[in-house]
Amino acid sequence: MNVNYVPIDSEVLGRSVLSIEAFDPNEDFAPFEQAYIERHQPAYVSCKIPLENVAAAHALERQGFHLIECQIRSEIDLRRDYDMSAFPYEFVKVETEEELAPVLEIAATTFEHDRFSIDPLIERNVSGERYKRYVHRSFEAADEAVYRLYAPADDRTVAFKTHRYLPGDQVLLLLGGVHPSYKQLGVGVINTYGELNELRRLGIRSGHTHISAANYPVFNLEIRRLGFRVVTTFAVLRKIYR
CA 11, 13, 19, 20 dihedral sign is positive
Q: Cα–Cα distance between 95 and 6 in angstroms, integer?
A: 27
Q: How confident is the model at residue 194 (pLDDT cuts 50, 70, 90)?
A: very high
Strands 90-93 and 144-151, sheet pairing: antiparallel
For 123-153, what is each residue's pLDDT tens digit? Answer: 988 999 999 999 999 999 999 999 999 999 9
Would you say residue 140 lies in a domain? yes
Provide the pLDDT for residue 221. 85
Nearest-angstrom CA–CA distance, 48 and 37: 19
Residue 220 pLDDT > 90, yes or no? no
83 and 67 together in one domain: no
- The answer, yes or no, to whether residue 219 has pLDDT greater than 90, is no
Q: Are residues 220 and 138 in the same domain?
A: yes
d(CA 83, CA 197): 9
pLDDT at 225: 83
Are 217 and 132 in the same domain? Answer: yes
Indicate whether 41 and 147 sit together in one domain: no
Under the banding of pLDDT at 50, 70 and 90, the label for residue 65 is very high
The predicted model scores a pTM of 0.94
Instruction: State how many domains the chain has.
Output: 2
Say yes or no: 176 and 228 in one domain.
Answer: yes
**Residue 227 pLDDT level (bands cut at 50, 70, 90):** confident
- Same domain (yes/no): 92, 44: no
Residue 237 included in any domain: no
State the residue range of the domain holding 159: 76-232
